[in-house]
Amino acid sequence: MNLYPSLSKRDGSQWLVWLASASRHLPELGRALQFLQSASESMDAAHTVDARQLAQRLRQAGGKYIGQARCPSAASCDKIACRLDTLGAWLGQELQHGRWSVEAGEALLGLGSHVLLRVFGQCEGADDRAGVLVRSVRQFARDWLQWLDRLPQSSSERALTVYPVAMQDQLGIVEPVVWWKALATTDRVVLTGLVEEDIRGMAETQPSAAVNWRSFDKRWRRLRLKGLLEYLDEPVLLAELLRKSAVDDFEAAQAIAHLRRAGRAREAIVQAEQWMRALPKSPVLAAALFDLYMADGWDDEALALAVQQYAYDPHPDWIDRLACLNTPAARAQTAIWRQQV
């Protein structure tokens, strides 16, 4: 629907005169025109510069336009949202023309990823009380994923493009399932390779009874990987992630359960025994290790563990657990405990 039929008949040169005049009184409009001029000028020169130089020029123009505000106020959030909408409209039109080379198209989409990474950081601590900025970021991200379909990328190249951006959305501004669906269509070998590299680069933690806020520093990366691996149904990588990042006995027990589901029962036992030596009085870890012993037929070890834990805390749960062992020694010990209750 054309809201301004008469204005639509005027040519571009007339529009520029009006907008330039208005921009003297509207700073945001002037800033937008400067970006549009700079970005369009870079694209006009796309055939005369190499792809790397073009990508750099576009990123510089986009970064300057969006700005570097940290913890923006409500008013600043409105401005950033407006800039993001304007930049997205320009990007969409440039990609829709289809006159650009593959390299130029990649440079345009590289601008999109650069801007997303910038605004993800700006959203941290933002006073976006009206939700204006979040809505703009979500829409821009969805558009960016759709724009990727216009490039003749292989599924492996798409994984390399989308994964870094999806992992940086630490606040979950865009619904995680949107990212996971996009990544699920990429090359699985390349994608899991990127995840493995991330897991290898993580500092290994040891479960502790003295957990404080520092233990959860930068936990967002672990949570993002966990969500992705659960969506992709990758039990082996998920088990390794949880094993390497557990900070308390509850997370350690969760890691043990996933190691077992991934078919790594013996490794789960070794890991659980190691953690039990560090946290000998943890009932959560003890219960997980007891189940492993039972499932693997280690009856003597299961009995010894139950006796040790009951000595620490004579909880009735251990009577019930030991009753499930159903060996002569276990039945005898269970009878003694029941007499003592």
| 285 Cβ contact partners less than 8 Å away, ≥ 6 residues apart | 207, 249, 252, 253, 256, 272, 275, 276, 279
215 has a pLDDT exceeding 60: no
User: Are residues 81 and 130 in contact, defined by beta-carbon separation less than 8 angstroms?
Assistant: no
CA distances in angstroms from 2 to 5, 9, 55, 86, 90, listed in the order given: 6, 11, 34, 19, 19
Burial 226-242 (b: 16+ CB within 10 A, else e): bbbbeebebbbbbbbbb
Task: Assign 1 a pLDDT band (cuts: 50, 70, 90).
Answer: low
Q: Is this structure's pTM higher than 0.95?
A: no
| pLDDT averaged over every residue in the chain | 89
Most confident stretch, 6-10, 138-142, 218-222, 329-333: 138-142
Average pLDDT over residues 239-266: 91
Q: What is the pLDDT of residues 142-175, one digit of tens each?
A: 999 999 988 888 999 999 999 999 999 988 899 9
40 has a pLDDT exceeding 60: yes
CA atoms within 13 A on the CB side of 274: 11
Side chain identity at residue 338, one-letter code = R
